Amino acid sequence: MGEDIRAVAAAARDASRLLAAEPTTRKNAALEAVAASLEAEKKQILAANRHDIAAAETAGLAEPLLKRLRFDEAKLAEAVRGIHSVVSLPDPVGRVQELRELDEGLLLKKVGCPIGVIGMIFESRPDALVQIASLCLKSGNGVLLKGGSEARETNKALAAAIARGAEAAGMPSGWIGLLQTREDVGAMLALDDDIDLIIPRGSNEFVKHIMDNTRIPVLGHADGICHVFVDAAADIDMALRVVSDSKTQYVAVCNAAETLLVHRDIADRFLPELAVTLSEQGVRLRGCKVTQKYLPDIEHATELDWETEYLDYILAVRVVDDLDAAVSHINQYGSGHTDAIVTTHAETAELFMDLVDSASVMWNCSTRFADGFRYGLGAEVGISTVKVHARGPVGLEGLCTYKWRVRGAGHVVAEYSGPNARSFTHRTLALPEADST
Amino acid sequence: MGEDIRAVAAAARDASRLLAAEPTTRKNAALEAVAASLEAEKKQILAANRHDIAAAETAGLAEPLLKRLRFDEAKLAEAVRGIHSVVSLPDPVGRVQELRELDEGLLLKKVGCPIGVIGMIFESRPDALVQIASLCLKSGNGVLLKGGSEARETNKALAAAIARGAEAAGMPSGWIGLLQTREDVGAMLALDDDIDLIIPRGSNEFVKHIMDNTRIPVLGHADGICHVFVDAAADIDMALRVVSDSKTQYVAVCNAAETLLVHRDIADRFLPELAVTLSEQGVRLRGCKVTQKYLPDIEHATELDWETEYLDYILAVRVVDDLDAAVSHINQYGSGHTDAIVTTHAETAELFMDLVDSASVMWNCSTRFADGFRYGLGAEVGISTVKVHARGPVGLEGLCTYKWRVRGAGHVVAEYSGPNARSFTHRTLALPEADST
């Protein structure tokens, strides 16, 4: 098994080096070919999915999981639409990020390029495979994919159709590889020569397990323990709207709020109104002692509540003395995902956004906006809560790095040292216009 | 010990959160205060260094190491000049990288910010401590430093002077912490809650050891196995200059060339001239069988030579059939550091630079240009051969990440779904002028 994966990874590495030199037009044509291939192989793909569904029903999989697993005609049409939207995204590869004359005739360019080979581990939804593969192809990366084992046949059919489509359009074969087993994942973690970045989607524990077992960089995602802080200078109606949306618009996601912090000077006016609004929406509150003074009927919140990602109609509430106490609470208990302040006071808001050490910081709007689509990134590989490489919602840019390209005319370093040394000019030049496709 | 380091790291974390909100002017004033403090405490610093030197002499340390360890009046003056040059660098913190209207009144900013706390492990030169600490202060990061144990007293005196200077200028205490022992390093690797990035400088083996023993991201540096490829369409005089400079301008550094690849169509004219030029400079050649046809007196190069970073007056030479063979050799045996092509043919050069998967790719100039100062980055934290976060010479930008700041006016996500859903405008706005200080 380990040997198989080694060969799959080596093939992806070889292909990735050719993909890196493919122009945007050819990659876009390949994406169109992939979309056509998925439609042409629809029959096999849907049959494979029926096979997976039948097996999952026999195994007694719960209905929400069955729903995620289902890949029918509508899902396929949606996946194809997704590919067309990836075609329309600007290509970060080849984008000049810095341009500097080092000396006469010696030019430095910092240019976007693919990372190389991405190892992607994702959950049971087969549509994720199509989205990730198209983003990798667009950004010129090879990819090793490991989906949920319940979706095995669907994933095989999808990956095969994608590979055939891309190859028919002249892309190098081997750029996409499918892993089958848990052992394959273990084997992949050891291949630091051929894999440049692992992106695991899954539980906190799973991501930590990956980080502990590889020297390959990991673009990880921790829990989403998101906060809303209602400042003393908040507009109460706005605060009710923002808290309510952050908590209830979709409770089962990482950018939903789990803890509400309320400035003590507004607690007496805000908390009773909040309790009415949220109870109408079926949200149960758990409060600190001060909160319970205003809302004596709610449960007591313990230390454990501050650390919990409920993903449910529950909200922990704490009254705090001031901005500093709110920031300290968030930096201590939060997961660095997304945190919001509601205030009419600009200086307080700016300070909050400076001091809160999270990927997304919000002022007078819902935590639920922290999302690749809403941010206008086009598509999302995932949300990163690590602080290097890519942070928060990660789009196509997160699948890219850069290289330094230097062009000279026989320039040598010896001329820049010694008694008659030349000096560098280090003149920043204007960037060329970005190519929009 | 482990507990001590835990407290030191927690203090750096707390301080880093305050540093993140410090404006550029205050950080620059603090850097000036640090420079003044180093000069004020010169007597103690030089005495501490004499103590380290005496101990090293007693221990029989070799002369080159003693030289690196020496921190005298001239070195201190140089370190102070270095701090002034860090003051003059533009501050990446607060720089708006993207600005987008998501909808009317809903604004997204991607803004540069510090990473948080950096764990830096560096070699014996005490001047490195001053440089790293100033770069961290400028970029608003807390830092834990572990230098060579031979420099222990010097490092203690320097770190104390730096801490006092910064604190006198109003910076939060605890942002700089000094580790003393190898066990401290082990303890640091477990503190993924309080340390965001480890930057180890040292051998390949050491960096791999670090990567294998922490879940904290590592900005690593592998060997520098750099190549020059002399294409069939090379100007022979230029090729001689570039190869000679890449190999001999300073042999003991990672961006010096270790292997020369020569296109077979130019080998008969180029190799004999090369042998004359390099033998005058004391370089010994080791060649493949084809090379030995033209230069029968040189040693034979084995597989091992292609993988070796000589850091010496030795150059491995291989004749290749074409560009593809050169690229394959480089991608197989190289370390992804820096590789150059010499050719008059622009298309060949562009393809080489696309296909070679290295941090720096050079056309008609020496590999020795791959350096933070020569690239105009101002100062260099190190050279990265990993492909995520920062690649190649890493300056101040490599110590920074970004956060997403969203400002609304009570915007909620619920309005963007359902039958009367609002649409996002996703309008890219012009960036504000960069602040030059």
Min CA distance, B84 vs chain A (Å)? 18
B145 and B238 part of one domain: no
Mean pLDDT of chain B: 94
A355 and A237 part of one domain: yes
Q: Please check whether residue B380 lies inside any domain of the structure.
A: no
Cα B367 to its chain centre, rounded Å, is: 15
Cβ-defined contact of A244 to B406 (cutoff 8 Å): no
pLDDT score of B436: 41
A26 and A76 part of one domain: yes
B10 and B158 part of one domain: yes
Asked whether the ipTM of the predicted complex exceeds the cut of 0.90, the reply is: yes
Q: Please check whether residue A408 lies inside any domain of the structure.
A: no
- Average the pLDDT over A75-93 and give the result: 94
Q: Please check whether residue B8 lies inside any domain of the structure.
A: yes
pLDDT score of A437: 39
Q: Please check whether residue A418 lies inside any domain of the structure.
A: no
Confidence of residue A232 (pLDDT cuts 50, 70, 90): very high
- Which contiguous run of DSSP H or E holds residue A284? strand A284-287
**Helix (H/G/I), strand (E/B), else coil: B391:** coil
pLDDT score of B201: 84
pLDDT score of B380: 81
Q: Which residues contact A306 (CB under 8 A, 6 or more apart)?
A: A259, A316, A318, A329, A332, A333
Min CA distance, A48 vs chain B (Å)? 33
Confidence of residue B3 (pLDDT cuts 50, 70, 90): low
> A314 and chain B: CB distance < 8 Å anywhere?
no
Token reading at A311 = 């993903």
Select from A179, A212, A245 the last residue of a domain. Answer: A212
**Test mutation, A88, A389, A412, chain B, max B CBs within 10 A:** A412
The 8-class DSSP code of residue A46 comes to H
Cβ-defined contact of A404 to B359 (cutoff 8 Å): yes
Q: Please check whether residue B374 lies inside any domain of the structure.
A: no
| Nearest-by-CA chain B residue for A236 | B410
**Per-residue pLDDT at B2 exceeds 60:** no
B149 and B179 part of one domain: yes
A364 and A261 part of one domain: yes
**Per-residue pLDDT at B281 exceeds 80:** yes
For the beta carbon of residue A59, count every other beta carbon within 10 angstroms: 8
**Per-residue pLDDT at A238 exceeds 60:** yes
**Phi and psi based region of residue A365 (left: phi greater than 0; alpha: psi -120 to 50; beta: remaining):** beta
Name residue B94's amino acid: G
Cβ-defined contact of B116 to A414 (cutoff 8 Å): no
Residue contacts between A and B (CB atoms, under 8 Å): 239
Select from B212, B237, B261 the last residue of a domain. Answer: B212
A207 and A260 part of one domain: no
The total number of structural domains that make up chain B? 2
A174 and A240 part of one domain: no
- Average the pLDDT over B8-34 and give the result: 97
**Per-residue pLDDT at A435 exceeds 70:** no
Looking up residue A7, the CATH number of its domain turns out to be 3.40.605.10
Cβ atoms of B392 and B384 closer than 8 Å: yes
**Per-residue pLDDT at A436 exceeds 50:** no
- Average the pLDDT over A146-153 and give the result: 93
Cβ atoms of B79 and B131 closer than 8 Å: yes
pLDDT score of B45: 98
A265 and A293 part of one domain: yes
Confidence of residue B65 (pLDDT cuts 50, 70, 90): confident
Q: Which of A373, A374, A372 is nearest to A384 (CA)?
A: A372
With a pLDDT cut of 90, the percent of chain A lying above it is 86
With a pLDDT cut of 90, the percent of chain B lying above it is 85
Altogether, the residues listed in chain B come to a count of: 437
Confidence of residue B434 (pLDDT cuts 50, 70, 90): low
- Residue A240 has phi, psi (to 5 degrees) of -60, -45
Q: Please check whether residue B146 lies inside any domain of the structure.
A: yes
Confidence of residue B1 (pLDDT cuts 50, 70, 90): very low
Looking up residue B309, the CATH number of its domain turns out to be 3.40.309.10
- Average the pLDDT over A405-422 and give the result: 95
Nearest to B363 among A20, A364, A407 (CB): A407
DSSP state string for A372-409 = TTTTT-SS-SEEE-SSSS--EEE-GGGGEEEEEEEEEE
> How far apart are alpha carbons B274 and B253 in whole angstroms?
22
Model confidence over B402-413: pLDDT tens digits? Answer: 999 999 999 999
The 8-class DSSP code of residue A218 comes to B
pLDDT score of B437: 39
Least confident of B91-105, B196-210, B272-286: B196-210
**Per-residue pLDDT at B276 exceeds 80:** yes
> How far apart are alpha carbons B258 and B94 in whole angstroms?
41
Please state, in angstroms and as integers, the Cα–Cα distance from residue B387 to each residue in A175, A194, A263, following that order. 18, 12, 44
Nearest to A376 among B100, B387, B393 (CB): B100
> How far apart are alpha carbons A297 and A126 in whole angstroms?
45
Confidence of residue A3 (pLDDT cuts 50, 70, 90): low
**Per-residue pLDDT at B427 exceeds 70:** yes
Q: Please check whether residue A260 lies inside any domain of the structure.
A: yes
* β-pair type (A284-287, A299-300): parallel
A 347-386 residues inside an 8 A Cβ radius of B: 349, 351, 353-355, 357-366, 368-370, 374-376, 386
pLDDT score of B432: 81
Q: Please check whether residue A268 lies inside any domain of the structure.
A: yes
A48 and A169 part of one domain: yes
Min CA distance, A348 vs chain B (Å)? 12
Token reading at B287 = 């060649």
**Test mutation, A193, A241, A338, A353, chain B, max B CBs within 10 A:** A353
A203 and A340 part of one domain: no
Helices (H), B169-235: 182-189, 204-212
Please state, in angstroms and as integers, the Cα–Cα distance from residue A57 to each residue in B36, B276, B393, following that order. 73, 77, 54
Model confidence over A96-114: pLDDT tens digits? Answer: 999 999 999 999 999 999 9
Select from B154, B185, B212 the last residue of a domain. Answer: B212
- Average the pLDDT over A418-434 and give the result: 88
The 8-class DSSP code of residue B116 comes to S
Token reading at A94 = 């080849």
pTM above threshold 0.95: no
Model confidence over B319-373: pLDDT tens digits? Answer: 999 999 999 999 999 999 999 999 999 999 999 999 999 999 999 999 999 999 8
Cβ atoms of B362 and B370 closer than 8 Å: yes
pLDDT score of A182: 87
- Average the pLDDT over A270-278 and give the result: 98
> B215 and chain A: CB distance < 8 Å anywhere?
yes
Task: Please report how the helices A42-58 and A152-168 are oriented relative to each other, as an axis angle in degrees rounded to 10.
Answer: 160
Domain that holds residue A129: 2-212
A236 and A333 part of one domain: yes
Contacts of residue A211 in chain B, CB cutoff 8 Å? 215
Per mean pLDDT, which of A379-383, A417-421, B22-26 is the most reliable? B22-26
